[in-house]
Structure 1
Amino acid sequence: MKISVSMYSLNSTVQKEKWSIADFINYAKSISLDGVELLDFYWNDKGKELKETIAVLKKHNLAVSAYDVTNNFVKKSSAERAIEIAKVKDGIQTAKLLGTNIVRVFSGDLQGQLTYEDAQAWIVEGLKNCAESAEKEQIYLAIENHGLLAGKSEQVEEIINKVGSPFVKSTFDTGNFLLVHEEPKVAFDRLKDKIVHVHFKDFREKAASESVTGFLSTQGMELVGTVPGDGQVNLAYIVQGLKDSNYDGWLSIEYEGFEDAQVANEEAVNRLRELLK
């Protein structure tokens, strides 16, 4: 298994220090990573920056573990959903240029009174449409268990099965299951055969004395991002399960806490390396 860090994992530093994508890649090289996870919303001038990004990756001999598209298929009109489909298809072509065969995708977000049952058909329709392009390019669409609408493992599994493409799989986010009150170990056991990308992440319950704003769960619990290993996720169980499943893909760190992001990510990398021994 190989280790990468998501650019989003350094988001506080990116915003504070105005990092470019190249700056982030330079940082990744400085902590001896195998690769980086890049996201669609960090481009300022994609046409110009894409060439620079590819050049910096080549210079440092770093791979791209995944290219992340920030799509949302939970839109009431077909015209709105067509825009989201176009985002994913553009992401497939960008991933190809970046040399990765993984495009992280979302299902969609809570909106008004809409439920997962209301939105499932839109999600499946969108992914089926995108899967045609993914299959042609031999690139996986890896659905992240993100947000509160379709964040349970059984929902991710159901969507994958209904789309019915060998190129639609799972980005298994170890922490996000806590937001929908599902034990990550249980989720892993359900999805382990469908995983093509992993977000190595952890959360803990916010203390009453803390003034930070965390993430609200489906039951109103507030969770705060931590360095992996300091929270509620049994990461050793998941890493061992990946080993037992002969998973040979990427483990990509995604830190969402309030500590210094560079320090937190470097500690996360060290801890993950220990688990992989």
Structure 2
Amino acid sequence: MEYIKNASKGFQWGVEKAADLGYRYVEPMVHTGWDLLSEVNFFHSFSTEEDPLLMKEICDQAGVKVSSISGHSPLMKPEAAVPRLTQAIVFAAACGAKFVNTDDMDKPEWMEDDFAYTMMKYTLTKANFVAQRHKVYICIEPHGTFTCTSKGILSIVNLVPSPWIKINWDTGNFYLANFEDPYEGLERVKDYVVHIHAKDISQQHSEKERGVVTGTPVGCACGEGEIDWERIFKILDPLDREIFLSVECGQVDEAERSLAFLTKILGEKLID
């Protein structure tokens, strides 16, 4: 749903536009409380104060399904992350989705690493109780202090032994962070990957921010940047499970070109 960010439109408009473009699934972003821009349909995020079945109804009417919920929460800040994650899990379950995406985010300067891991373990322990009940995966994404290395993201995934804590692989974030080869990193964590943010990074963006940031809100159209998609799918191909690709770009036309590119390159691997 990030593809409509620059269009300054609301959730329902974005869902209907996704359907028009040919997408069969969307990944809604949720927020707690009330957001003025969303209330006046200038932003696509959906409040968890609303009825989750309203989200499902809007998607059903447009002919698309919810693949996952973008419930990004600072795992090191449990007072924010626990209610946000648990509400996102309930929304996912109500809409028939199996995944909620989140990440560690940035560690405060005053927080020691051991303390950060204690906070993240608490957050994930609480959220895991809800995930187990609703049978929804909590997917950790590379986009923060610890998650942008394969060792780091696995250390968080394994904080709480659970079949419901997995990985949402963000192709663009891991590439930009540049702590290790992005394809070797994916190879190391692939057994935990159940969801992917299909994000490409333009050459200009790469030259400006690679090695400087650990993540970015959106990328360019898939197939028009620095990501080697054929190599990514070669790594994932042996996995015997369905994996959702959630395109993450910033413009409607980029979403259209991304769908055309991914449809072409994946071919018969796409599930109808």
Q: Which moved more, 1:184-193 or 1:36-45?
A: 36-45
Over residues 24-70 of structure 1, what are the superposed CA-to-partner deviations in whole Å (9 max), with x where a residue is unaligned? 1100110111200000131258426x444322222233111101112
Q: Please say if 1:177 is aligned against 2:168.
A: no
Matches of residues 33-48 of structure 1 in structure 2 within 5 Å? 33-41=23-31, 42-43=45-46, 46-47=49-50
> Is the Cα contact below 8 Å between 1:127 and 1:163 reproduced in 2?
yes
| Structure 1 CA distance for aligned equivalents of residues 15 and 213 of structure 2 | 38
CA contact (8 A) 2:68 2:98 kept: yes
With over 3 angstroms needed to count, the CA separation of the structure-2 counterparts of 1:8 and 1:115, relative to structure 1, is farther
Shift of 1:234: 1.3
**1:200 matched residue in structure 2:** 198
Q: Specify the SS of the correspondent of 1:232.
A: coil
Question: Runs of 5+ in structure 2 lacking a partner?
Answer: 32-44, 268-272
Aligned twin of 1:163: 160
Task: Tell me the equivalent position of 1:190.
Answer: 188
Partner Cα separation in structure 1 for residue 172 and residue 114 of structure 2: 23
Contact 1:215-1:223 at 8 Å conserved across structures? no
Structure 1 position 207, deviation (Å): 7.2
Higher mean C-alpha deviation, range 98-107 or range 108-117: 108-117
In 1, the alpha carbon distance for the partners of 2:68 and 2:209 equals 24
Number of residue-to-residue matches in the alignment: 253
Q: Which residue of 1 aligns with 2:41?
A: none
Matched residues in 2 for 1:224 and 1:96: separation? Answer: 26
CA 43–224 in structure 1, closer or farther in 2 if over 3 Å, else same: closer
1:131 alignment partner in structure 2: 128
Q: Which residue of structure 2 lines up, in the alignment, with residue 254 of structure 1?
A: 248
For the residue of structure 2 that corresponds to 1:230, the secondary structure is coil
**Letter paired with 1:233:** I
Q: Which amino acid aligns with 2:183?
A: K
- Greater length-normalized contact order (CA 8 Å, ≥ 6 residues apart): 1
Shift of 1:267: 0.5
State the partner residue of 1:275.
265
Residue in 2 that maps onto 1:58: 60
Deviation at 1:117, TM superposition (A): 5.2
The aligned amino acid for 1:199 is H
Give deviations 1:89-109, integer Å, cap 9, x for gaps. 111111111111111122232
Instruction: Report how far residue 240 of structure 1 moved.
Output: 2.5
Q: Unaligned regions of 5+ residues in structure 1, if any?
A: 1-6, 76-80
Aligned residue in 1 for 2:22: 32
Which residue in 1 is equivalent to 2:36? Answer: none
Distance 1:263 1:163, change over 3 A: same
Distance 1:270 1:230 in 2: 12
Partner of 1:119: 116
For residues 188 and 115 of structure 1, the distance between their equivalents in structure 2, rounded to whole angstroms, comes to 28
**Partners of 1:96 and 1:43 in 2: CA distance:** 15
**Under a length normalisation based on structure 1, what TM-score does the superposition of the two structures give?**
0.81
CA contact (8 A) 2:27 2:67 kept: yes
Cα 1:44–1:223, aligned 2, differ >3 Å: closer, same or farther? closer
TM-score scaled to structure 2, two decimals? 0.83
Equivalent residue in structure 2 for 1:95, among 88, 92, 95: 92
Say if 1:223 and 1:97 are closer, same or farther in 2 by CA, change over 3 A. closer
How far apart in 2 are the matches of 1:83 and 1:207?
A: 31
Instruction: Indicate whether 1:67 and 2:53 are aligned.
Output: no
Q: RMSD in angstroms over aligned alpha carbons?
A: 2.8
- Percent identical residues: 22
Q: Which has more strand, going by share of residues? A: 1
Change (3 A) 1:177 1:30: same
How far does the alpha carbon of each residue in 1:75-118 deviate from its partner, in whole angstroms, 9 at most, with x for none?
3xxxxx23321111111111111111111122232322546555
Give the distance between the partners of 2:199 and 2:112, measured in 1 at CA.
26
C-alpha deviation, 1:265, in angstroms: 0.9
